[in-house]
Amino acid sequence: MKFNRGRRRHRRDLQKAAGIGDGLSKLPNDCLGELPNDVLLNILERVGTLDAVRTCILSKQMRKLPAMLSQIVIVDHDLVRMNSVLAEVIDKILSTRSPLITFSKLKVRFVLTPNDCRSIGKSVSLAMATQILDNAEFEIVTPKNSFYCTHADLVNFGKQFSMFVADCQDAFAGLTRLQLQNLRFGESDIPIILSTCKRLESLSFFECDAGIRSVLHVEHARLVEIDITYGEFKTVELDCPKLQQMTYDNWPCDENPLVLGFVPQLSKLSLANEGLSDKTFMISQLLANVSAVSDLYLDFRSEKIWIRPECPRVLAPVLGQLRFVNLDSLPEECDIVWTMFLLEAAPSVEDLCISVRDHKCGIESHKSRSKKTDVKWEQSRPNFKHKNLGKLTIYGFQSDSYFMGYIRHVMEAAVNIKEVSLHDRKVCKPCADMFPHIEVRPSTYPQSCEEKALLRNKITEASVMMASPVVIHFRT
């Protein structure tokens, strides 16, 4: 009975992926196996590798198909905890493949357990020796969640991973993407890993470092993307000629967290931090060696503003190509007019998005250390005009003088703006659950059509002299 239920479920998955609908359920059980192999492979690759394997077991005619798949993607969160089974499945698929079959993608998520990892690595190594993989990805998780990991756990996991790399160098030499978590490396481990992963294009560290207040120097010829979340690095230094995207989330130190060395192609930069100290950073210094950034995302976690407004003349050389600016989670008690300094320094910006919220989750204990004050800024050019800004988006808009004044300020400067999109506060249910005793400031976001029409008229008064009218959207 259980076998039959599984068979019916997989048939439903297949028919859904194929877009056939309920008609497939009316066909004889062996009719699916009579379809041409190219059609079957197209269907199987849409339902995921594990479902494809389970389905093909049910038919003698289809049992050879898993070895013919062009994409092997195994990220099942249930099976991933059964590493020995996962290793067996991967070995079975890869060992029976013909070198003549195009292999476009391999993605495997598995737990860091020495014996099973080694088995998976050897299977992948053998496949790489006989076939060309356009994209190969390992996502390696640890047996313990990061919340429960001690220093000894992190060190132990770091040693296990380094031994895994040493034992399976051929597999790592062919990887294009690597995602790691909960590892504390030795001083020389990360340089060895980077030199082994010669084809690596994307690297992700979550709760990884080389010891508290360690310096991470990333030098790699092919790396295009790097993502670092948490960890205890004092500084991250990057020298990657092809790097295009950098994300750094939650650095622990007050010193300059990021040194952008030779990264001439860096176009997207994302930084997020609570800014709990008095330290502020200057964008002109951070981007001193970079002039290609077109997309800038800064998340302040509803805490202190940790960047310092600067003179446009100083910033202009590094923000000349900036087109998209997203300033997320600005504290509600901080006037947002200071953000204008970015528009003054970046004449090519087309889209400006600002999110204002009083987000309390996880930061209540930091309130005494975090001093949120208005950011001091003086407009350097009274008659400043911006010709490229076309869209302004505000999350957390309230119909008070701060927001209304800011919108008019932007519209007076952005002579070609076409759209202003206004959203109410972002709702965070955990905030209300964790801090029910804290009084939440009532929202003054317009609710009725009449209130929206009144505010829309007030806002558009600033655009009377503009070349074309501005469309004001109140989003729900």
pLDDT of residue 60: 73
E strands in 58-211? 71-74, 103-111, 133-141, 177-184, 202-209
Domain that holds residue 58: 1-69
pLDDT-derived band of residue 426, with 50, 70 and 90 as boundaries? confident
52's enclosing H/E stretch is helix 49-57
On whether residue 302 sits in a domain, the answer given is no
Residue 466 has pLDDT above 80, yes or no: no
Quote the pLDDT of residue 103. 77
Please tell me which residue, 122 or 2, carries the higher pLDDT value: 122
On whether residue 274 sits in a domain, the answer given is: no
3-class secondary structure, 355: strand
Query: Which among 266, 297, 316 is the end of a domain?
Result: 266
- For residue 84, give the H/E element and its range: helix 83-95
Same domain, residue pair 213 and 343 = no
* Dihedral Cα 61, 65, 66, 67, nearest 10 deg: 120
Please tell me whether residues 460 and 369 are part of one structural domain. Answer: yes
Q: What is the mean pLDDT of residues 285-298?
A: 95
Question: What pLDDT is recorded for position 72?
Answer: 84
Which pTM does this prediction carry?
0.86
Question: 19-28, 87-96, 443-452: which has the minimum mean pLDDT?
Answer: 19-28
Higher pLDDT, 467 or 120: 120
Q: In this structure, is residue 253 part of a structural domain?
A: yes
Q: State how far the Cα of 452 lies from the Cα of 458, in Å rounded to an integer.
A: 10
Q: Let me know whether 127 and 61 are in one domain.
A: no
Residue 59 or residue 261, greater confidence: 261
Contact 183, 155 (CB under 8 A): no
69, 88, 123 — which closes off a domain? 69
pLDDT for 4 beyond 50? no
For residues 371-378, give the mean pLDDT.
66
At residue 255, the pLDDT reads: 77
The pLDDT of residue 266: 98
Domain membership of residue 453 (yes or no) is: yes
CA-to-CA dists, residue 241 to 224, 262, 264, angstroms:
9, 6, 6
Residues 42 and 122 placed together within one structural domain of the fold: no
* Average pLDDT of the segment spanning 1-30: 44
Which of 23, 47, 69 is where one domain is finished?
69
356 in the same domain as 385 = yes
Tell me, yes or no, whether 57 and 99 share the same domain: no
What's the pLDDT band for 172 if we cut at 50, 70, 90? very high
How many domains would you assign to the chain?
Answer: 3
Q: Which residues pair with 281 in a beta bridge?
A: 307
* pLDDT at res. 88: 85
- The residues, ordered by sequence, that sit 6+ positions from 262 with a Cβ below 8 Å of its Cβ are 239, 240, 241, 289
pLDDT tens-digit series, residues 240-272: 999 999 999 999 877 789 999 999 999 999 999
- pLDDT at 242 (0 to 100): 98
Direct distance between the N- and C-terminal alpha carbons of the chain, in angstroms, rounded to an integer: 48
Q: Is the pLDDT of residue 418 over 80?
A: yes
Amino acid 6: pLDDT:
46
Given a cut of 70, whether residue 76 has pLDDT beyond it is no
User: Is residue 27 domain-shared with residue 95, that is, in the same domain?
Assistant: no
Rounded Cα distance between 93 and 445, Å, is: 57
Whether 349 maps to a domain, the answer reads yes
243 lies in the same domain as 166 = yes
The answer on 182 and 166 residing in a single domain is yes
Q: How confident is the model at residue 435 (pLDDT cuts 50, 70, 90)?
A: low
* Contact predicate 281/342, CB 8 Å: no
Mean pLDDT value of segment 312-330: 95
Q: Is the pLDDT of residue 75 over 50?
A: yes
Predicted local distance difference test score (pLDDT) of residue 110: 92
Query: At residue 46, does pLDDT exceed 80?
Result: no
Residues 474 and 422 in one domain: yes
CA dihedral 320, 321, 324, 327 (to 10 degrees): -40
Measured over the CA atoms of residue 191, residue 197, residue 198 and residue 200, the dihedral's sign is negative
For residue 454, pLDDT over 70 is answered with yes
> Is the distance from CB of 288 to CB of 267 less than 8 angstroms?
no
pLDDT tens by residue, 178-205:
999 999 999 899 999 999 999 999 999 9
Confidence band, pLDDT 50/70/90 cuts, at residue 283:
very high
Q: What is the mean pLDDT of the chain?
A: 84
In angstroms, the CA 339 to CA 330 distance is 10
Do 397 and 435 share a structural domain?
A: yes
Percentage of the chain modeled with pLDDT above 90: 54
320 lies in a domain?
no
Q: Is the pLDDT of residue 7 over 50?
A: no
**Residue 3 pLDDT > 60:** no
Position 61 pLDDT exceeds 90: no
pLDDT at 460 over 60: yes
Residue 453 and residue 411 share a domain: yes
Q: Is residue 201 part of a domain?
A: yes
The length of the chain is 476
d(CA 431, CA 409): 32
Residue 24 lies in a domain: yes
For 256, half-sphere exposure in the C-beta direction (CA atoms, 13 angstrom radius) is: 12
